[in-house]
Amino acid sequence: MFDYPLLLKPICVPRPWGAGRISSLYDREASQSEVKIGESWDVSTFPQDPGNPDLKTVNTIINGPLKGKLLNEVLECPVVVKILDTSQRLSVQIHPVKAGDTKDEMWYILNATEDAFLYLGLKEGVDPADYCDKAGDPNATAEDVTGLLKCYKNLKFGDYFNVPSGTIHAVGPNIVAFEVSEQKQITYRLYDYNRGRALHLAEGKEAATGTREDLPILDVSLEVICDEINYITKFPAFWVCEVYGEEVSVDACDRPHILTAVAGDVEIMGENENWNIKVGHSKSAIIPGGYEYKVKNSGDRFLLTPFKD
C-alpha cells in the first residue's frame, strides 16, 4: 500500500476525434503523436488501451519514495480517470449491465465552446430495443438516430453528468471534460456516423434492454471543513464530491480517494514532507485513506473521488 499522496505521469491517447488542446489549455507535456490526442489517462491500472493494445495505460508514480514504480505495483485502482478533449461527435454507445462488466461513469465539464453538446439517455417514450434497431438501420440518417436521444447544450464549466452503465450516450464536439469510470473498459458502439468502425449492435441491445444487479451505493465516511461540499455522484464503486473553498481541511476519509484540481493548482499539506505536493490544474493525485491533511486551492473548487478498496 502507500502512505502519502501519489502524483502520476499522464498517458496521452490519440483518438480520431481528438482535438489536441489539452497541453495548450493546461500545463501538460505536449504529445508528438501524428493523430491528435483525445484522451489523457491520468489515473489507471487498466493494462492497455482497448482500441490500441500496444499502448500501455498503467500510470507511473512520479513523486516520493515510490517514484518510478507503476501504479499497479502499489494498488489496484477500481476506477480510471481521464481528460477527454473532443473535436467531433463520439460514437453513440452503451456499457454492459452484466455483473462484473459494468462501467458507471461521470463527466465534469472543464471547457466547452458555445456550440458544444452531448447526448445522454433516450427521450421519453423511446423504446430501447426499437432505438437499437434504428441505430443499426443502414438507411437511417444521423438525425434519425441522434434525434431520439436527450441532447444537452449550453455546456459550461462545472456542469456534470452521471452515466450509469446501461445508459445510451455520446459525448459531442468541442468539449474538454474530466471523466471517472469503473475500471472495466467494455464499450458497445451502436452508431458511428458511418466512419467505418465496427458496431456492436447485438451486445448493445442486450445492455439497453437488460436488468442490472441491484448493488448498494458505496459507503464512505468523509469529514471535510470547507465552504461547501456537493455530493454529485454516488455509485457502487465510487463517489465524486465537489469541494469549495480556498483553504480546506480533510479531517477524515476512510477510503483511498482521488483529488482532481479542476479550477486551478492545488497544494496538499500533510504530516511529513512526502505529503507536501502541488497538483497542477486539471491533474489528479491519489490520496490514501485514514489521514488528515490540508488543501490550499488557487481556484474556487476541486473534486474528491473516494473509491472502493
Q: Which three cell numbers stand for residue 176?
A: 474538454
State how beta strands 301-306 and 175-182 pair. Answer: unpaired
In the chain, what are the domains? Answer: 6-209 (2.60.120.10), 222-306 (2.60.120.10)
**Per-residue model confidence as pLDDT tens digits over 7-33:** 999 999 999 999 999 989 999 987 777
**28: three-class secondary structure by DSSP:** coil
**Per-residue model confidence as pLDDT tens digits over 199-249:** 999 999 999 999 999 999 999 999 999 999 999 999 999 999 999 999 999
Q: How sure is the predictor about 133, in pLDDT bands with cuts at 50, 70 and 90?
A: very high
For residues 103 and 115, what is the distance between their CA atoms, to the nearest angstrom?
28
Residue 163 corresponds to which amino acid? V
| Average pLDDT taken over every residue of the chain | 96
pTM for the predicted model, two decimal places: 0.97
Given this model, what pLDDT does residue 207 score? 98
Given this model, what pLDDT does residue 69 score? 98
Interval 272-292 mean pLDDT: 98
Asked if residue 270 lies in contact with residue 276, where contact means CB atoms within 8 angstroms, the answer is yes
**Per-residue model confidence as pLDDT tens digits over 42-77:** 999 999 999 889 999 999 999 999 999 999 999 999
Given this model, what pLDDT does residue 292 score? 98
* Sign of the Cα pseudo-torsion (226, 309, 207, 187, in order): positive
Given this model, what pLDDT does residue 58 score? 98
